[in-house]
C-alpha cells in the first residue's frame, strides 16, 4: 500500500494535481461501507466543494485525504511540495467545531502546530501574528476562546490551519453552526484569503448556496455508499462578492445543483 | 450574553439583592454557631455539669489557650504527617493514572488492587502496618492509602475525557506521545485532578488521625489524635474538645487552600470556576 501511495504522489505532481483519489473505499469495523469506490482529482489552487446530505461520506473522504483514517482499499495521493519552512505541512484541517484548547489563549492555540513541529520561537511568533492578521483577529491574540463569539472561534481555527502555510486546506462543514450573517461574512473572507494565498481548498458542506458561492467546482455526492453523483463547474467573474450572490447566474447554478441533489433526497428513508 | 446586559434596569435592581443574599449566606451559619455555643454554655451552667463530663465552651477555649504549647506541637506533627501523606497520594495517584493511560495491560493488572486498597477500611489496616513499619512511616502510609484513590480515579477520568476532535488535531500535526500528554491530556485532565486533590486533602487528614490513634504511643512527636486519646484516658475532657476543635480547623484550612488553588488555576477557562454572571 505504501508503494502505491508513493507512485500516485509522483503522478499527482506530474499532472499538477494537489489531491488524487483512485478507487478509494472505506468500510467501517461494523461492516458499513461509508465511501466509494471514489475517484477524485483536485488541481493545485482549485476550490472544490463536496456537497451532499448528512452521512454521505463526504467527511470520511476528507479524513482520508488528511490521513486521519486509512482507506480500506484504493490509493490516496497528496502532493508534497516546497516544505522549506520548519513546521510547514502539506495539509491544514478545519473541523466542524472550532476545536480550540479552552485552557490557553488564542495565540497559543494558533501556535500549536508549530510548537508540535519544534519550530524556532522567533519565527513561530511572527507566523502566528501573520495568521491572526489574515483572519482579522490580531487584537484578540491574548483572549481565551470562551471570550470569543462562534464566528471568531472559527476564525481562530482557520488561523491555526493557515499557520503552517499548507498547500491544501481541508474544511469539514466549518460554518455549519454559525448564523447566516456571520457565515456570509466568513464566506467572503475565505474567498479573499483563497485569492491572496492561492491554496487548494476542499470544502465539505451540506449547503447548496454556500457551495455554489465559494467553489470553482461543486461535487454532489450520493449516500450509502458515498460516490460522486454529479459535478458542476461554476464559472463566474472573479473576484466574487455580494453581486454574484444576488445574480441570476448564481440562482441558476443553485437550481441546477439542487436538482441534482433532489433524486438523492427522495432515495433517503423518511424524506 | 446574559440578560443583565440587555436589560440594565433589572441588573441595577438585582445587584443589591445579590449583595444582601451573600450577606445572609455568610451571617446565617454564624448566627447558628453563636446560638449553639450560647445554648451549650447555658445548659452547662444551669445544670451545673462538671467539666469532666461536659465542659462549657468557655472552659474549652481556656484550655486551648493554656495548653497551646502542647497542642501546637501536636498540630504541627499531625499536619506534617497529613502533608507527607497528601504529597505521596498526589504523586502516586497521578503517576499511576498516567501509567494506566499509557498501557492498558498495566491498568488491567493493577486497578483491582487499587480498588481493594480503597475499600478495605484503613482503621483495620493501620495496626498491621504498625507491626511492619516504623511508626512515622506507617502513619504516612495510612494517609497515603486513603488519599491516593480519589486522585487516581479522577485523573484517569480526566485523561479519558479528552476532546476527540482535539485528539485528531494532535494526530494530524504529528504530535508525539509525550507532546500529546503534555499539551493535550494533562491540561484536559487538570480540572478532574484538582477535584481529586480536594477530596484527597481531607482524606489524608483522616488517614493521619486514624493511624495516630492506632499507634497510640507517647512522646514529643505525638499528633493531635494521640492527644485526644491520651486526654480521654486522663478524663481531661476540655483538652479533648480543644484538640478536636484544632483538627476540625485544620481540615477546613486544608480544604480552603485546595479550593483556592483550584479556583486560581481554572478561573480563566473552566466552567466550574466561572461565575454565574459570565
pLDDT tens digits for B190-218? 999 999 999 999 999 998 888 888 887 54
Whether residues B26 and B138 share a domain: the answer is: no
- The CA-CA-CA angle for residues B238, B241, B245, to 5°, reads 140
Shortest CA distance to A48 belongs to which of A214, A188, A247, A190? A214
Q: Test A93 with B190 for CB contact under 8 angstroms.
A: no
Please indicate if any CB of chain B lies within 8 Å of the CB of A104.
yes
Shortest CA distance to A218 belongs to which of A58, A101, A79? A58
Whether residues B61 and B17 share a domain: the answer is: no
B269 interaction partners in chain A (CB closer than 8 Å):
102-104, 144-146
Name B79's Cβ contacts closer than 8 Å, sequence gap at least 6: B250
Please report whether residue B278 resides in a domain: no
Please indicate if any CB of chain A lies within 8 Å of the CB of B275.
no
Question: What per-residue confidence (pLDDT) applies to B267?
Answer: 85
Assess: ipTM above 0.90: no
**Band of pLDDT at residue A11, cut at 50, 70 and 90:** low
Taking CA atoms, B90 is separated from B64, B94, B232, in Å, by 33, 6, 34
Lay out the sheet containing A17-27: strands in order across. Answer: A33-43, A17-27, A73-78
Count the residues in chain A: 271
Whether residues B165 and B35 share a domain: the answer is: no
Shortest CA distance to B84 belongs to which of B187, B196, B211? B211
Whether residues B27 and B136 share a domain: the answer is: no
* C-beta atoms surrounding A133 within 10 Å: 13
Whether residues B146 and B116 share a domain: the answer is: yes
Whether residues B27 and B147 share a domain: the answer is: no
Shortest CA distance to A38 belongs to which of A16, A62, A17, A14? A62
Largest Cα–Cα separation, chain B: 78
Please indicate if any CB of chain B lies within 8 Å of the CB of A176.
no
**Band of pLDDT at residue B184, cut at 50, 70 and 90:** very high
Whether residues B97 and B192 share a domain: the answer is: yes
Contact A184, A154 (CB under 8 A): no
Mean pLDDT value of segment A114-124: 89
Please indicate if any CB of chain B lies within 8 Å of the CB of A265.
no
Question: What per-residue confidence (pLDDT) applies to B4?
Answer: 41
Please report whether residue B59 resides in a domain: yes
Helix axes B186-215, B135-159, angle to 10 degrees: 160
Please report whether residue B69 resides in a domain: yes
Please indicate if any CB of chain A lies within 8 Å of the CB of B5.
no
**Band of pLDDT at residue B7, cut at 50, 70 and 90:** very low
Whether residues B113 and B12 share a domain: the answer is: no
The CA distance from B193 to B233, in Å, is 41
DSSP A237: P
Whether residues B204 and B124 share a domain: the answer is: yes
Question: What per-residue confidence (pLDDT) applies to A5?
Answer: 47
By CB atoms closer than 10 A (0-12, 13-18, 19+), residue A197 is middle
Question: What per-residue confidence (pLDDT) applies to B117?
Answer: 87
Nearest-CB residue to B165 (from A66, A99, A164) = A99
The CA distance from B243 to B246, in Å, is 5
Q: What are phi and psi of A26, to 5 degrees?
A: -140, 115
Domain count, chain B: 2
Task: Report the CATH number at residue B161.
Answer: 1.10.3720.10
Nearest-CB residue to A68 (from B172, B175, B184) = B172
Mean pLDDT value of segment B44-70: 91
Nearest CA in chain A to B164: A99
Shortest CA distance to A229 belongs to which of A20, A48, A36, A73? A36
Whole-structure pTM value: 0.80
Mean pLDDT value of segment B251-262: 93
CA of residue B64 relative to chain centroid, distance: 24
| Contact pairs from chain A to chain B, CB under 8 Å | 51
**Band of pLDDT at residue B12, cut at 50, 70 and 90:** very low
Instruction: Name which of A9-13, A183-187, A232-236, B45-49 the model is least confident about.
Output: A9-13
**Band of pLDDT at residue B57, cut at 50, 70 and 90:** very high
Mean pLDDT value of segment A241-257: 85
B169 interaction partners in chain A (CB closer than 8 Å):
93, 95, 99, 112
Residue B13 half-sphere exposure, CB side, CA atoms within 13 Å?
Answer: 6
Whether residues B134 and B228 share a domain: the answer is: yes
Please report whether residue B100 resides in a domain: yes
Shortest CA distance to B51 belongs to which of B242, B278, B272, B249? B242
The CA distance from B60 to B210, in Å, is 23
Q: B86 is in which domain, residue-wise?
A: 52-273
Whether residues B40 and B58 share a domain: the answer is: no
The CA distance from B152 to B115, in Å, is 10
Place of cell 494565498: A197
Mean pLDDT estimate for chain A: 83
* C-beta atoms surrounding B62 within 10 Å: 14
Contact B143, B84 (CB under 8 A): yes
Three-state DSSP state, A19: strand
Question: B242-245 long-range contacts, Cβ below 8 Å, gap at least 24?
Answer: B242/B60, B242/B61, B242/B63, B242/B64, B242/B67, B242/B71, B243/B71, B243/B74, B245/B60, B245/B64
In this structure, the strands spanning A17-27 and A73-78 are antiparallel
pLDDT of B157-176, one tens digit each?
999 889 988 998 998 888 89
Mean pLDDT value of segment B32-61: 92
Please report whether residue B242 resides in a domain: yes
Is residue B68 predicted with pLDDT exceeding 90? yes
B178 interaction partners in chain A (CB closer than 8 Å):
none
Whether residues B79 and B196 share a domain: the answer is: yes
pLDDT of A17-45, one tens digit each?
888 888 888 888 887 888 878 888 898 88
Taking CA atoms, A249 is separated from A63, A212, A234, A244, A262, in Å, by 33, 10, 9, 8, 20
Shortest CA distance to B154 belongs to which of B208, B125, B121, B197? B197
Amino acid at each position: 500500500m505504501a508503494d502505491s501511495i508513493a507512485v500516485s504522489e509522483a503522478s499527482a505532481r506530474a499532472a499538477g494535481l494537489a489531491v488524487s483519489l483512485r478507487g478509494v473505499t472505506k468500510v467501517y469495523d461494523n461492516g458499513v461501507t461509508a465511501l466509494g469506490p471514489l475517484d477524485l482529482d483536485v488541481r493545485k489552487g482549485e476550490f472544490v466543494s463536496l456537497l451532499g446530505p448528512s452521512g454521505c461520506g463526504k467527511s470520511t473522504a476528507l479524513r482520508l485525504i488528511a490521513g486521519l483514517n486509512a482507506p480500506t482499499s484504493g490509493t490516496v495521493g497528496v502532493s508534497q511540495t516546497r516544505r522549506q519552512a520548519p513546521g510547514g505541512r502539506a495539509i491544514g484541517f478545519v473541523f466542524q467545531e472550532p476545536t480550540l484548547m479552552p485552557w490557553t489563549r488564542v495565540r497559543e492555540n494558533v501556535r500549536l502546530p508549530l510548537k508540535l513541529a519544534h519550530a524556532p520561537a522567533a519565527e513561530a511568533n511572527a507566523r502566528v501574528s501573520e495568521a491572526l492578521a489574515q483572519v482579522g483577529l490580531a487584537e484578540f491574540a491574548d483572549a481565551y476562546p470562551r471570550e470569543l463569539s462562534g464566528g471568531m472561534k472559527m476564525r481562530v481555527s482557520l488561523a491555526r490551519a493557515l499557520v503552517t502555510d499548507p498547500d491544501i486546506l481541508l474544511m469539514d462543514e466549518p460554518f455549519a453552526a454559525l448564523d447566516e450573517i456571520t457565515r456570509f461574512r466568513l464566506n467572503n473572507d475565505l474567498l479573499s484569503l483563497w485569492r491572496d494565498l492561492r491554496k487548494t481548498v476542499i470544502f465539505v458542506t451540506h449547503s447548496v448556496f454556500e457551495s455554489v458561492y465559494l467553489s470553482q467546482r461543486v461535487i454532489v455526492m450520493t449516500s450509502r455508499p458515498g460516490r460522486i453523483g454529479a459535478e458542476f463547474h461554476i464559472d463566474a467573474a472573479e473576484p466574487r462578492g455580494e453581486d454574484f450572490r444576488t445574480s441570476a447566474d448564481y440562482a441558476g447554478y443553485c437550481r441546477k445543483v439542487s436538482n441534482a441533489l433532489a433524486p438523492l433526497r427522495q432515495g433517503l428513508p423518511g424524506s | 450574553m446574559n440578560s443583565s446586559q440587555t436589560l440594565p434596569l433589572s441588573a441595577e435592581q438585582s445587584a443589591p439583592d445579590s449583595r444582601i443574599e451573600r450577606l445572609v449566606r455568610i451571617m446565617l451559619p454564624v448566627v447558628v454557631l453563636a446560638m449553639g455555643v450560647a445554648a451549650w454554655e447555658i445548659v452547662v451552667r444551669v445544670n451545673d455539669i462538671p467539666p469532666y463530663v461536659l465542659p462549657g465552651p468557655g472552659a474549652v477555649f481556656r484550655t486551648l489557650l493554656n495548653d497551646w504549647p502542647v497542642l501546637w506541637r501536636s498540630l504541627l506533627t499531625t499536619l506534617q504527617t497529613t502533608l507527607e501523606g497528601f504529597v505521596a497520594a498526589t504523586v502516586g495517584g497521578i503517576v499511576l493514572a498516567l501509567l494506566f493511560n499509557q498501557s492498558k495491560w498495566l491498568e488491567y493488572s493493577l486497578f483491582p488492587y487499587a480498588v481493594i486498597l480503597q475499600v478495605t477500611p484503613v482503621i483495620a489496616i493501620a495496626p498491621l502496618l504498625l507491626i511492619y513499619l516504623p511508626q512515622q512511616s506507617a502513619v504516612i502510609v495510612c494517609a497515603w492509602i486513603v488519599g491516593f484513590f480519589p486522585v487516581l480515579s479522577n485523573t484517569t477520568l480526566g485523561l479519558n475525557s479528552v476532546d476527540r476532535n482535539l485528539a485528531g488535531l494532535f494526530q494530524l500535526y504529528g504530535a508525539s506521545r509525550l507532546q500529546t500528554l503534555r499539551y493535550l491530556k494533562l491540561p484536559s485532565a487538570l480540572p478532574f485532578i484538582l477535584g481529586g486533590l480536594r477530596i484527597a486533602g481531607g482524606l489524608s487528614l483522616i488517614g493521619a488521625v486514624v493511624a495516630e490513634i492506632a499507634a497510640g504511643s507517647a512522646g514529643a512527636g505525638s499528633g493531635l489524635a494521640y492527644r485526644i486519646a491520651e486526654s480521654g484516658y486522663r478524663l481531661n475532657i476540655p483538652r479533648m474538645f480543644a484538640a478536636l476543635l484544632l483538627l476540625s480547623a485544620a481540615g477546613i484550612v486544608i480544604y480552603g487552600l485546595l479550593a483556592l488553588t483550584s479556583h486560581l488555576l481554572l478561573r480563566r477557562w473552566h466552567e466550574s470556576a466561572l461565575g454565574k454572571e459570565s
